[in-house]
Each structure stands twice: as C-alpha cells, then as structure tokens.
Amino acid sequence: MAVKGAPTWCYAKTPCSHPGISDLGSTRSGLAFNLSFRKWECCCLGVASAQRAITPVEDEKPNLTGAESSGAIQRIEDNESRAFHKDMNLLPKPLTANDLSSSSDGSKVRVAYQGLPGAYSEDAALKAYPKCETVPCDQFEAAFKAVELWLVDKAVLPIENSVGGSIHRNYDLLLRHRLHIVGEVQLQVNHCLLGLPDVTKEELKRVLSHPQALAQCEMTLSSLGIVRINADDSALAAQMVASTGLRNTGAVASARAAKIYGLDILAEKIQDDDDNITRFLILAREPIIPGTDRPYKTSVVFTLEEGPGVLFKALAVFALRGINLTKIESRPQRQRPLRVVDDSNEGSAK
C-alpha cells in the first residue's frame, strides 16, 4: 500500500498532550510536529560564542594582587553571568498556548489569506483573530512566503472541505515550506447568490464564482437555468459583477462580499449540502508548546519504503498506544496516482 518516498500526513488525537493542531472551533488546540534541529543548534552555538567572547584571555586580564585581585575577579564573573543571561533572554522563544490565548482577539496581528477582501478565507482569519489586520494574497504560495519573509505574522489557508475534499495544493506547500501549524479554524460556508441592486434572480443569465462554489450549488443554479462561469475566487467574482455593471450577471460569494462590493443578496444558503464546512490551518514561523490542560491534535508527515505491510506497521504504532487517527492523507511523488485513506471512528476507508 505504501509508495517509496511518498509523504504521508497523519492527524492524531490523544488524551495526552502532544504537539498538534489547535481546533479553534472546539476544545482541541495545538501545533504541528516539525522539529528544526539545525535551528536550535545554531542558537546554542550562538550562546556558547557569546560566553567565550565576554571571557578575557590570559594576556588581557589585569595584573592585580590580594583582595583587589579577588574582588576584580568576582566582578568579572558577575559581569559574565549577567551578560550571559542577557544574551539568553534575547534568543527567540517558541510561542506557548498561553501566548495564543492572551491575544485571542488577534489585535496587532497581521494575517495573510488567499483571495480578495470578502473571500471565505478572510472570514476564517477574522473568526480566528477578530481584530487582526487581514492581508490578501493572489496565490496560496504567496501567503506562505509572506509569513516566511516577516511581512505578516500568520497565514490562514484552507486544507479541507466537507463536500469538496482535501485541498492538495496546500498539502504540497506545507512540505515545501518550513512553517508550523499553530491553530485550526472551521468555517460554516454560506453561499449567497449576488447581483446588482434592484436585480431579481430571475433576470440572471450567467453567474461567476470559484469552480468548487459553483459545484456546491449545482441544484439551485440548475433550477434557475443559469450558465456557470469559473473565476479564480468567489470574492473576485463579486468584484467583477460590481465593476462590469451587467444586470444579467451574478456571483456566488459570501454575504461579506456583497457588503464590500455593494451587491444585493438575491438568495442565501443556496448550497446543496447545508453541512458545508471548510477547515483552515493557521500557520506561523515558530511552533507553540502545548499545555496539559486539554487534548491536542498532532500533524505528522513521514515516508515509507515500498514493501508489504509497511503502512500497517506504521499505523500499528498509534493503535498500540491508544492514539486515534482522524485522517490519513497520502500524497504522490513524481505524478504517481493519489491514494487517500480516511481512518474514522467506524474504521471506514476510501
């Protein structure tokens, strides 16, 4: 079942505290399991170098005798100790779970998302950090780079939809970029049919939106006999309708997009499945340290050698320790076919 060199994502839920993904919509929270040994090695080397630099060599030490010499040596040691601890305090420290809870409103936090203002990703960012400054990005990778280049503090990106499935592009970007999962937010998707002011839905001949949004509203749009046109983003579709001024053209987007671009909401909740939820990951440069007050969700990525039963043996490690796997995602390498296994409570697989 395993593919040689193919990365596999595992999501584990355990009563013990493990680094994991925090669930901002429930009682679970945590961080991504992604150790960076090289980084900490560099930090330790920096501390050691600082200690050596403040210690005078033999020729530089003053030639003192008696009590004066003893007092001078004591002062030098005190200075070394104070300087050493000062340098330690200057080292970057990982965020803790308390750090997240203390700024839960997201004040003074810059959060990147993919799309234009009014996109569902912006709604998710505002749900996670209500007072944050949202920063739109044209592509998913641009949001990753914005965090890495210190242009923003965090990024909120979709990873899975209950109807459309996994967003594989972001799984691949997680493997390419050295960012940490520090949170999770689940957003209830409410698709709205938007149009110009004083336009009725019967007047619409075509509608613009993201392909997934159009697919999720198949029954409603078919009943209206509307031609569907793909757009890169639902908020972009709303912006295009507002800018063109065509009365026979509508958009499928969020209620916030209608407010931002001055459109009327012709119909709400037009999605075929009412239980339409998108799960977003919150990414940051540094991991957080989970506490012991509640269970945490953990994300692990690993590769397996090709052979019979290797995936079974890897998953047995979790089962023998009473760790429940909520999802398994297998990504292909070199364009091999995609295989996804969902380990739910009922043990079903697909």
pLDDT at residue 333 in the model: 62
Higher pLDDT: 93 or 119? It is 119
* Residues of the chain above pLDDT 70, percent: 64
Instruction: Indicate the pLDDT class of residue 175, thresholds 50, 70 and 90.
Output: confident
Token output for 105: 């409103």
The answer to the question of residue 249 being in a domain is yes
State the DSSP H helix or E strand holding residue 221, giving kind and residue range, or none if neither.
helix 218-224
Say whether pLDDT at 15 is over 90: no
Of the residues 284, 309, 341, which one is the last residue of a structural domain?
284
Say whether pLDDT at 215 is over 50: yes
pLDDT at residue 319 in the model: 92
Say whether pLDDT at 255 is over 60: yes
Closest CA to 140 of 181, 105, 112: 112
- Comparing 2-16, 42-56, 179-193, 206-220, the range with the smallest average pLDDT is 42-56
pLDDT at residue 91 in the model: 44
**Residue 288 DSSP code:** E
Each residue's pLDDT tens digit, 63-77: 545 555 555 555 545
The answer to the question of residue 320 being in a domain is no
pLDDT at residue 13 in the model: 54
The answer to the question of residue 26 being in a domain is no
What are the strands, taking DSSP E only, across the chain? 8-14, 95-96, 110-114, 133-137, 154-161, 165-166, 180-188, 192-195, 206-209, 227-230, 249-253, 264-268, 277-284, 288-289, 296-302, 324-330, 340-341
Distance (Å, rounded) from C-alpha 225 to C-alpha 212? Answer: 18
Q: Are residues 218 and 162 in the same domain?
A: no
Higher pLDDT: 213 or 84? It is 213
For residues 212-216, give the mean pLDDT: 93
Each residue's pLDDT tens digit, 23-41: 433 333 333 333 333 333 3
Domain that holds residue 261: 192-267
Distance (Å, rounded) from C-alpha 154 to C-alpha 134? Answer: 10
Number of compact structural domains in the chain? 2
Q: Are residues 98 and 174 in the same domain?
A: yes
Q: Are residues 183 and 197 in the same domain?
A: no
The answer to the question of residue 102 being in a domain is yes
Each residue's pLDDT tens digit, 274-321: 889 999 999 999 988 877 888 778 888 888 888 898 889 989 999 999
The answer to the question of residue 151 being in a domain is yes
Q: Are residues 239 and 257 in the same domain?
A: yes
pLDDT at residue 5 in the model: 52
Residue 248's φ and ψ, nearest 5 degrees, are -95, 10
Q: Are residues 111 and 130 in the same domain?
A: yes
CB atoms within 10 A of CB 265: 15
The answer to the question of residue 199 being in a domain is yes
The answer to the question of residue 296 being in a domain is no
- Comparing 85-94, 132-141, 238-247, the range with the smallest average pLDDT is 85-94
Dihedral sign of CA atoms 282, 211, 232, 133 in order: negative
Q: Which residues are catalytic?
A: 278, 280
Distance (Å, rounded) from C-alpha 299 to C-alpha 5? Answer: 18
pLDDT at residue 328 in the model: 87
Q: Are residues 227 and 159 in the same domain?
A: no
Distance (Å, rounded) from C-alpha 123 to C-alpha 166? Answer: 19
- Comparing 2-6, 39-43, 219-223, the range with the smallest average pLDDT is 39-43
Q: Are residues 174 and 204 in the same domain?
A: no
Residue 223, domain CATH: 3.40.190.10
Higher pLDDT: 152 or 84? It is 152
Q: Are residues 182 and 206 in the same domain?
A: no
Of the residues 254, 284, 314, which one is the last residue of a structural domain?
284
